């Protein structure tokens, strides 16, 4: 029996547990998405019935986090004896005129509210009243449950490729009994024994010196290029590297995937992702100049999650990601030169052992005692390592449907980790590339200005290609 399934209990991985540990003060560790659909909106009863029919393929969505007694191990997933779909699926409407700003004001409030740890860690909001007779869906799920790639895979469960799919009646469901304290203590004790054995296998010194274990863990997170050239310098200081407050501000930028392909074709070797990062770097440079921050020679560090999930585990929940540090040359104002610098940096990154080091790090974290894992998780997302999160996830490149309504636009919603007040999520869908900008509402009240700079930065790259 594996460590993750001791006594038939499904334990959180170290990465999953780390996202729980990082959630403190204004750092809400849930991710989400905003979907805008053709109208008319379905009734809330029809929408809940649709989710109820799909939930058997999403067992984690009926499970909650159960902490282990006396800190004897990572938490486990248990089925929620009080699960009610009505709690998780909410219904609301926008005030007139139901435009983008009214919709994003609602998203600001929904995404700024922390999920209840005593319940399964997700919510969905059916939103009516959008202009043009449309409707929207706002979804948020704790990062302990999903990563960006597995979140995209969930579309295969919640969405359909054609508009005329009919749901089958769901099978009856009743929760399994919650394990008692004795079972949890036995599982935790066995986990501690196995953790000690794992640590011994990696070096008795780490088990005897927990501070050294933390330093070793953080050292591997910050590795850049390869194991022989570790990153030792801190990320530069920016106005956005401070503790986030509880309130959020969201903006979106919708662009055409064809523009990125034109720039790629004219660049002689850049990827679409390189073009995305070059556009982001240009926008951030201008945004910093708005705050009188000198940018000459400045290169920020972006935390870029990279999927380690094999094809055999597509659709599975939980996190299988590595964190890589990608440079953003915000000080290069010439768009062609900036794209060339991004391309060169990303090629170096791809040839490095950074992802391999992250995999080793994960195996080490799985053996760490909970108290040390909590510290390592917080330090691993410190502003010393990177300036902001930039996550780019490819979505489906064909129309998808829910309850017969076509999804028009899909906006990713990232998270603000401790010491970070700005994050950028990017997702492609059906020929579009959409940026979901998220910031601390008090620290970055002018997020719409960053959205404007992003459009201008991309236009410059396209003009250079033309």
Contacts with 93 (C-beta within 8 Å, 6 or more apart), sequence order: 127, 128, 129
Share of the chain above pLDDT 90, in %: 55
Q: Which of 71-85, 86-100, 164-178, 362-376 has the lowest mean pLDDT?
A: 362-376
Q: Which residues are catalytically annotated?
A: 143
In this prediction, residues 121-144 reach a mean pLDDT of 95
Look at residue 71 in the predicted model and tell me its pLDDT.
65
Q: What angle do CA 105, 148, 399 make, to 5 degrees?
A: 75
CATH 1.10.10 is right for the domain spanning 210-394+436-465? no
Mean residue pLDDT across the chain: 82
Q: Identify which of 318, 332, 326 has the alpha carbon closest to the alpha carbon of residue 464.
A: 332
* Domain ranges across the chain: 210-394+436-465
Per-residue pLDDT of 276-292, as tens digits, reads 999 999 999 999 999 99
Percentage with pLDDT > 70 across the chain: 74
Per-residue pLDDT band for 358 (boundaries 50, 70, 90) equals: low
How buried is 2 (Cβ within 10 angstroms: 0-12 exposed, 13-18 middle, 19+ buried)?
A: exposed
Of 264, 221, 169, 194, whose CA–CA distance to 360 is shortest? 221
What pLDDT, on a 0 to 100 scale, did the predictor assign at position 300? 95
Asked if 420 contacts 244 with a C-beta cutoff of 8 angstroms, the reply is: yes
- List, for residues 213-226, the tens digit of each pLDDT value: 555 555 544 443 44
Higher-pLDDT residue of 315 and 232 is 232
Provide mean pLDDT across the span 395-404.
93
Mean pLDDT of 444-457: 97
Over range 257-278, report the average pLDDT: 94
pLDDT of residue 449: 98
Phi and psi angles of residue 394, each rounded to the nearest 5 degrees, phi first: -75, 130
The model carries a pTM of 0.83
What distance in Å separates the CA atoms of residue 123 and residue 33, rounded to the nearest whole number? 11
pLDDT digits (tens, 9 = 90+) for 287-326: 999 999 999 999 999 988 765 545 555 555 554 556 678 8
Report whether pLDDT(90) > 70: yes
Q: Are 19 and 106 in contact (CB under 8 A)?
A: no
Query: Of the ranges 90-94, 333-337, 369-373, which one carries the lowest mean pLDDT score?
Result: 369-373
Select the more confidently predicted residue: 347 or 114: 114
Interval 417-429 mean pLDDT: 94
Give every CB contact of residue 298 below 8 A, 6+ residues apart in sequence.
236, 285, 288, 329, 330, 331
Highest mean pLDDT among 91-95, 163-167, 186-190 belongs to: 91-95
Burial 249-282 (b: 16+ CB within 10 A, else e): bbbbbebebebbebbbeebeebbbbbbbbbbbbb
């Amino acid at each position: 029996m594996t460590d993750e399934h001791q006594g038939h209990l499904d334990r959180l991985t170290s990465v999953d547990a780390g996202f729980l540990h990082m959630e403190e003060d204004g750092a809400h560790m849930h991710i989400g998405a905003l979907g805008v659909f053709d109208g008319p909106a379905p009734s809330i009863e029809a929408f809940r019935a649709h989710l109820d029919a799909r939930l058997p393929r999403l067992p984690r969505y009926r499970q909650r986090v159960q902490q282990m007694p006396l800190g004897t191990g990572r938490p486990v997933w248990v089925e929620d004896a009080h699960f009610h779909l009505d709690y998780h699926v909410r219904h609301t409407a926008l005030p007139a005129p139901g435009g983008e700003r009214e919709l994003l004001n609602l998203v600001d409030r929904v995404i700024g509210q922390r999920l209840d740890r005593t319940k399964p860690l997700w919510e969905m909001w059916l939103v009516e009243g959008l202009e043009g007779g449309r409707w929207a869906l706002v979804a948020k799920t704790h990062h302990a449950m999903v990563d960006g790639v597995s979140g995209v895979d969930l579309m295969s469960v919640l969405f359909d490729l054609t508009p005329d799919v009919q749901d089958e009646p769901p099978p009856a469901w009743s929760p399994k009994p919650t394990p008692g304290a004795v079972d949890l203590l036995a599982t935790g004790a066995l986990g501690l024994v196995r953790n000690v054995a794992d640590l011994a296998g990696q070096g008795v010194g780490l088990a005897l010196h927990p501070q050294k274990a933390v330093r070793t863990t953080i050292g591997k997170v910050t590795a850049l290029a390869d194991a022989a050239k570790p990153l030792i310098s801190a990320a530069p200081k920016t106005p956005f590297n401070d503790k986030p407050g509880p309130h959020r501000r969201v903006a979106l930028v919708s662009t055409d995937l064809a523009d990125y392909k034109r720039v790629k074709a004219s660049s002689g070797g850049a990827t679409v992702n390189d073009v995305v990062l070059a556009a982001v770097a240009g926008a951030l440079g201008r945004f910093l100049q708005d705050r009188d921050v000198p940018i000459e020679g400045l290169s920020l560090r972006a935390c870029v999650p990279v999927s380690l999930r094999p094809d055999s585990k597509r659709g599975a929940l939980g996190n299988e990601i590595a964190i890589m540090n990608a440079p953003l040359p915000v000080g290069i104002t010439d768009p062609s030169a900036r794209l060339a610098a991004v391309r060169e940096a990303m090629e170096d990154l791809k040839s490095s052992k950074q992802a391999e080091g992250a995999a080793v790090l994960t195996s080490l974290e799985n053996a760490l005692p909970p108290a040390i894992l909590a510290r390592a998780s917080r330090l691993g997302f410190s502003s010393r390592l990177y300036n902001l999160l930039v996550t780019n996830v490819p979505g489906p490149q064909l129309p998808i449907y829910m309850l017969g309504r076509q999804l028009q636009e899909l906006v990713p919603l990232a998270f603000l980790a401790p010491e970070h007040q700005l994050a950028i999520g990017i997702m492609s869908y059906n020929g579009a590339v959409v940026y979901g900008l998220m910031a601390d509402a008090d620290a970055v009240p002018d997020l719409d200005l960053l959205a404007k700079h992003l459009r201008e930065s991309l236009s410059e790259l396209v003009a250079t290609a033309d």
